[in-house]
A and B are shown apart, each in its own frame.
Chain A
Amino acid sequence: MTVNTSSALSLVDVRKQYGDHTALGGVSLEVPVGSIFGLLGPNGAGKTTLIRMVSGITAPDSGTVSFFGAPLKGDDIRDIGYLPEERGLYKNMRVGEQAMYFAQLRGMSKSEASKALKVWFERLEVDGWWNREVADLSKGMAQKIQFIVSVLHEPKLLILDEPLSGFDPINAEIIRSEINRLRDECGTTVLLSTHDMSSVDELCDNVALINHGEKILHGEVGLLRERARAGKIDFRFRGNLIAFTAALGAGAILHSAQSDGNGAHDLVLGIPSETPIENFIKWSSSEVDVLSCSPKVISMDEVFLKAVRSASLNHIIS
């Protein structure tokens, strides 16, 4: 498999073994430039191992990791930002001093770092805290500082491991909008590892699902959801339920039905993929009083669960 040069990150058949335990058993994926890529999976799936390899902490036993078309090398750390899941700061250092330290570690000059930090501090509303010690910060503020420290040096690739964990809803929203802004305005590629599916729904363009060290699903979020939708529609109508169900015949599958007390019925139907939804609406309007009809919204949660279950089934079978 040749390396795709329009990918910010390209993993080809990456494997990692720790003693008897296979952390990654041959994973390949492509992260397109300027996209937000979700790395999903249950705990222990191999996400952290993969992330550590991309952020430069470990190296694969076999397989390649390519960064913007070339094998990942030492200098690339200047262009990579990393926010680990378990994160911390030096408690007894001042906030500003520490942020400068980390910025310089990533290759920024003092003046560059200073300028960039002022902007970020203001944007995330922590600018009064420059001279305070980290130990004085609240958890949410410390997390914001940690986020700033990972993005400060304008990395081309930003690796975020559970970035929203520990944030209250307001701050989580701030971080979310920053991530989007980085992609939209700065063209940053973001590798987001999480098992918070609501973030995935909102943020990610593409995802890959890892379990037991293997990739079991990948693709564009929209497409995946559409696939998982499997032609399901939400259908609400007034009329005779039994008659309608009979009229459906073999043309559609009835997944579920609910009736409210006022004569309206909510059905989840599966219509064949060849049938455009408009045709079905047309047909059903002639049978009953259609209140609403729309494609069923499948959340990434459901996509995730479905994929993990069928993968486990495959494991059992094979």
Chain B
Amino acid sequence: MITALVTAILIWVMPMFIGTYTLTVLVVYGMLGLSLGLIWGFGGILCFGQAAFFGLGAYTYAIAAINIGESTIPMVLAVLVPAIFAALLGAMMFYGRLTDVYLGVITLVVTLILFKFINSTAGPQYVIGTARLGGFNGIPGFQTLNLPGNPDAYIWGDSYFYVCAVLMAVVFLLVAALLRSSFGRIAIGIRENETRMALMGYDVRARKTVLFAIGAAIAGLAGALFANWGEIVTPNLFSLSQSAEIIIWCIVGGLGTRVGPILGAAGLAYLKFLLGQQSVIDNTLITGLILVLFVLFLPKGIVPAVTGLWKVSFASRPLGRVHQQRRMRQRERFNG
């Protein structure tokens, strides 16, 4: 209820400060941040290739939209294709009992494979249906979002922002519900202690695979929304720097929280947008510096730090320290 209210106010107020065109992409990035925040912060799965699912969603949408000429089915496919791809990839990794570094290598390598492959498809022989893959040039000129069933009624500009914002709110509420459900609690249990959960009779491999696929579905949806916003998809969506950014958003915002990754994504993307308007200091340099500084000095991220402070100052009992310890322990576990 409160979430819905806060969201409604945000959707109403924010366009007064920032143009809806920019806001739309911030919302989309927020959703992408949430997708990794879910599987990493609550499932303990560090994926170095979340961008792969983002790109896959965007490309699926673009290709399907060109072939179908209407946006409803492509939107659905853009969620399903990354989810199925992630389910297969996840099954391969988790049933092979791969953990931390190896998980990192494989997700990173798979992202690279997709990047290299898509990049090399500039030739006219690479077509899916009537859509040319276009290699490094990307795919422009596909049907953008329209009212379901009416390909001529485009949703764009301010209305597109509202569609994205509402979808973001819906995804957020679904994630919240998921985390409150048994599935979510069991996922957190697995993050905390995989062996114990297996000894209690839970099939850790299957559950991690499902969670991984859910994360990919959200990333895919974000990808499709991004494709609609940019009206072109390029191989850069799959790039390692895109993957790095998603990880940075989560770290800066705060792992193990739902709003952290969203705020981290929107905040840093907006910062990048502002920095892009000056040319004194290179953008990448600042992104890198932020990541290093956060890992060194504020490894649990902004949101937990702020809520911790809040609790120290206002709560009768100093919960903040406990939360800090909890986060630190989680990190230690990630670090094997």
Verify that A and B bind, or say they do not.
no
